Amino acid sequence: MILMISMLNRKSYDQRDGPAKLKCRLERLSGRPVRIMHYAAANPASVKAAEPKAIFITGSPDPWPSVRVKDLYGLDDLLHSTTIPVLAVCQGHQLIGHCFNRDLRKARLLPDEPMRRLRPGEPDTGAVYGHQGYYYAETFVEVKILRRDPILAGLPRRTVVRADHWCEIKKLPPGFIHLARSAECKCEMIRHETRPLYGVQFHAEEWQAPYLAGRRILLNFFRLAGALKS
């Protein structure tokens, strides 16, 4: 079983909703059942009881200041201790930055960390999402692989992935390896030095021909986790 931890603030959804569609996509790709757990319910004990082979942490459009920090304590403990392979995307990736770059127990709220302000003449594509004046990546972007890793097997040094974000991790967390970057985002991909804990700013779960790198990354992740049904 693969555990999918949803970073959406809301806890309910239906079969037409994003979490359900992503669950089906991960199940089709891995051949394994996927269970959804809300981030506020995730902690070392609840995850151990679920007995997953792998953990996938989703993105979310919810701004960081809208997230109650106390609801993240259990997930923070999990990220600092688990040896179960983890792949966190977009906001899940930013969560790794928040958890390892600061002490969540001392934070009243978590800030959004935009990539940059718009340059003169750039279209304000983020305005529709409430991010006026800031650069918003909503396209396929080229990332440069800085260091080889099993999760990147079969990919060229420069590969194209799907981006949909305006924030980023500003500083590589201590104890992490920098795996990839893009022209606008420094920390596109990171990995813990000693544990299979990965963060990707882009959406590896989204791909379309001819840009299939995200699919390859997920297959590699499920394979290294022993979660890919043969």
The one catalytic residue in 168, 188, 205, 206 is: 205
Angstrom distances, CA of residue 210 to CA of 132, 138, 214: 31, 17, 11
* Residue 90 bears catalytic tag: yes
Spot the catalytic one: 98, 165, 203, 206.
203
Question: What whole-number distance in Å separates Cα of residue 93 and Cα of residue 199?
Answer: 4
- Return the axis-axis angle of helices 213-225 and 18-30, rounded to nearest 10°: 70
Catalytic residue, candidates 90, 99, 167, 187: 90
Cα 177 from chain centre: 16
Dist. CA 152–CA 160, nearest whole Å: 12
Which residues have a Cβ under 8 Å from the Cβ of 186 and sit 6 or more positions away?
A: 168, 169, 170, 172
User: Element (H or E) spanning 198, and its range?
Assistant: strand 197-200
Answer yes or no: 203 catalytic. Answer: yes
H or E stretch at 80: helix 73-81
Q: How far is CA 110 from the centre of its chain?
A: 17
Interatomic CA distance for residues 216 and 210, integer angstroms = 12
Q: Could you tell me which residues are beta bridge partners of residue 35? A: 3
Catalytic residues: 90, 203, 205
